Structure 1
């Protein structure tokens, strides 16, 4: 019997234990002292008024902490290898878990964690949740009511993102969230400020899902502090988060005030740098979409023109982009060179063989308004070439555009 007990006993690596609770960390985060704790434990410690690191008793110059993603992955792999798979909840168990959510008891974070774990196992599980009566309203209600509980908020947004991807009842979920938008958006902003990268990505995806029409997009854009917050992720948020943010900004920037707010918080600089340096075609195309949106206002055009190499980066990408993104690139160049008549940008585009690039783009077959923009661009760029003594270098392009007769 003793030997059997020894085999069943699992030694937890000390590195995986929270120095406060001594339990295996669910969400490891590191203080500025370099010591890692479970998020819930250190948050309670700091919220109770302490200003020291519990392990070292050093006074903290900053109470901020960052997710320890490497340790989180190691703990997750260890749990998978050391714990037997838990049985899937039965319908009765799911109902019981939903009742616990609805009652908002003290174990709310634990309950949501159990359901979120169930959802991550398989597509079939997510489909079960999506179809389960009362699931969507329970999770939305939870999100609306836990704007100061990061673990509960993150699990709620994870579940919402899972349900939306499995097409549970999207219109109902959209209506539920928008009906409680002040509380729900408050929780989402809380996650964007304090959550893990994964939960930030999920939140941005949920926000994009909500932006189904002009009114919804306007409500999201008008949420105080939201646009500068998400735009800031473009600076150093990582590729997946940046892609999610770019996609969101491309659909929520529907009003003049939203576009101006983006310009004021530096989005043109961030997007321009991404466009110049990214290797992903998807990222580049989403950058072009955001620039095309911003270029529809005078403030946006001025910011793009003032950003070094932005127009050149657009010229570089236009022939490599998919058709929709190429149209965005043409719109940006037309806005700068024709609508604004910015001489500096026009000359820069002309020097980069802009006429040949636009002629090449015109071969793709366009709607009349895009062809019209292309013809306008060729006119002003040819004029710039003539004024600056530049020859038209068409030899390197097999344009086959004998039918094009720009004036």
Structure 2
């Protein structure tokens, strides 16, 4: 057994990064089944360790670097005193000590006003670039065949995460495959916290999605799993990778606890930023679960669901799905109750061009609700969307013009909108008044 393990480990080490990811996906599916053997778990552990080394480089010791497949010592003054890694962007603190900008900035942002190395109180927090040291590091890296670390200025990549932090994340990933439920639960909770509070954790864990997927089918871990996937998906470059979780997130949206459903809705909203994901989410049947959450959820859950519905309906094929799922009636109720009315109006305005949606708005009392909102509300964005929806409905159902005409004669609602609404609201209201006048003229002529 020991010899077989060593051979298996050697084989895994030789695999390329893409091969490791594919193998990890296959093993994750096997682990999610009830018949997963210890050999499968061992293999998964080997793959994660190998991928961890290739992705994070967390098996390298402090003060060493990889060059041509071997380890070499790094001059101590090239290493950041905080991270113990080669500095990407060395800067000088007021005490004269040099640190990597990312790590010393994180130290200062946390409220510290002392030098981490000398513990001397800082007279100021200015950071001065150490160009001379940066050139020395560049020359040394070129001479020794070491890839020079470069500073990243993106909001999610430029984060103070040390080698130990990366090793900790990799260890948590291993625990997700542990046969002990308590280890899985602790690891999931910690990963949820890490991906929420550390932008770099989101960046580093983009390739770990296959290990999180099995947790979506575990009622004890669903909430944390949905939250982890949500947090990872915040980083745009991860949205494609997390897209493989769409079926699992839709199932969690339909079957999970209220907290799980809210997290799943927020994750689907995040993923829907990609057009290809909008289509996949719609095809997976998410709309019914989102509409139900919009009806049953708490304030935050309703907002998550409504945001997801709005984003998904930007794809035309999802609008019919929204109507079929009963979204129109739920949105009209939101307008009537003034609960998230602005957001609901934005979705209704998008749906109003669909004939079935317009008919459903009439059936659900949407015309009366919109006129009442215009009469009682301010002529801002809500007024603009209300006028646009009424204009679309009346264009498909001229009988509704009678309600609009009665509202105008009793309260002058549209005339007020023409005077004080937004540019688009004024155009729609003026067009509606023209239609009302033409209808009135036809009635009189008869």
**Contact kept in structure 2, 1:101 and 1:111, CA below 8 Å:** no
- C-alpha offsets along residues 221-247 of structure 1, whole Å, 9 cap, x if unaligned? 222x21112112233333332222122
CA distance in 2: counterparts of 1:342 and 1:213, whole angstroms: 38
CA distance in 2: counterparts of 1:209 and 1:363, whole angstroms: 39
1:161 equivalent among 223, 230, 235: 230
2:273 equivalent among 209, 212, 215: 212
Q: Which residue of 2 aligns with 1:8?
A: none
Say if 1:203 and 1:141 are closer, same or farther in 2 by CA, change over 3 A: same
Q: Which runs of 5+ in 1 are unaligned?
A: 1-46, 48-88, 390-407
CA distance in 2: counterparts of 1:200 and 1:127, whole angstroms: 18
CA distance in 1: counterparts of 2:431 and 2:300, whole angstroms: 37
CA distance in 2: counterparts of 1:304 and 1:109, whole angstroms: 50
Q: Which runs of 5+ in 2 are unaligned?
A: 1-33, 35-160
1:245 equivalent among 305, 317, 320: 305
Q: Which residue of 1 aligns with 2:372?
A: 316
CA distance in 2: counterparts of 1:330 and 1:276, whole angstroms: 16
**Contact kept in structure 2, 1:147 and 1:186, CA below 8 Å:** no
CA distance in 2: counterparts of 1:340 and 1:174, whole angstroms: 39
Q: Which residue of 2 aligns with 1:301?
A: 358
The number of equivalent residue pairs is 282
**Contact kept in structure 1, 2:419 and 2:426, CA below 8 Å:** no
1:349 equivalent among 382, 404, 407: 404
Say if 1:192 and 1:127 are closer, same or farther in 2 by CA, change over 3 A: closer
CA distance in 1: counterparts of 2:190 and 2:417, whole angstroms: 48
**Contact kept in structure 1, 2:169 and 2:191, CA below 8 Å:** no
**Contact kept in structure 1, 2:405 and 2:436, CA below 8 Å:** yes
**Contact kept in structure 2, 1:129 and 1:135, CA below 8 Å:** no
Say if 1:330 and 1:288 are closer, same or farther in 2 by CA, change over 3 A: same
Q: TM-score, normalised on structure 2?
A: 0.55
**Contact kept in structure 1, 2:391 and 2:428, CA below 8 Å:** yes
Say if 1:263 and 1:134 are closer, same or farther in 2 by CA, change over 3 A: closer
Say if 1:276 and 1:128 are closer, same or farther in 2 by CA, change over 3 A: closer
Secondary structure of 1:353's counterpart equals helix
**Contact kept in structure 2, 1:101 and 1:142, CA below 8 Å:** yes
Measured on the aligned residues, the alpha-carbon RMSD in Å equals 3.3
Secondary structure of 1:151's counterpart equals coil
Superposed, 1:121-160 pairs within 5 Å as: 129-132=198-201, 135-137=204-206, 140-160=209-229
Say if 1:132 and 1:270 are closer, same or farther in 2 by CA, change over 3 A: closer
CA distance in 2: counterparts of 1:249 and 1:295, whole angstroms: 15
CA distance in 2: counterparts of 1:126 and 1:322, whole angstroms: 41
Say if 1:152 and 1:371 are closer, same or farther in 2 by CA, change over 3 A: same
The structure with the largest alpha-carbon Rg is: 2
Q: Are 2:341 and 1:284 aligned?
A: yes
CA distance in 2: counterparts of 1:388 and 1:110, whole angstroms: 76
Secondary structure of 2:178's counterpart equals coil
CA distance in 1: counterparts of 2:305 and 2:398, whole angstroms: 29
- C-alpha offsets along residues 60-110 of structure 1, whole Å, 9 cap, x if unaligned? xxxxxxxxxxxxxxxxxxxxxxxxxxxxx9974763453342462224674
Q: Are 2:292 and 1:229 aligned?
A: no
Q: TM-score, normalised on structure 1?
A: 0.60
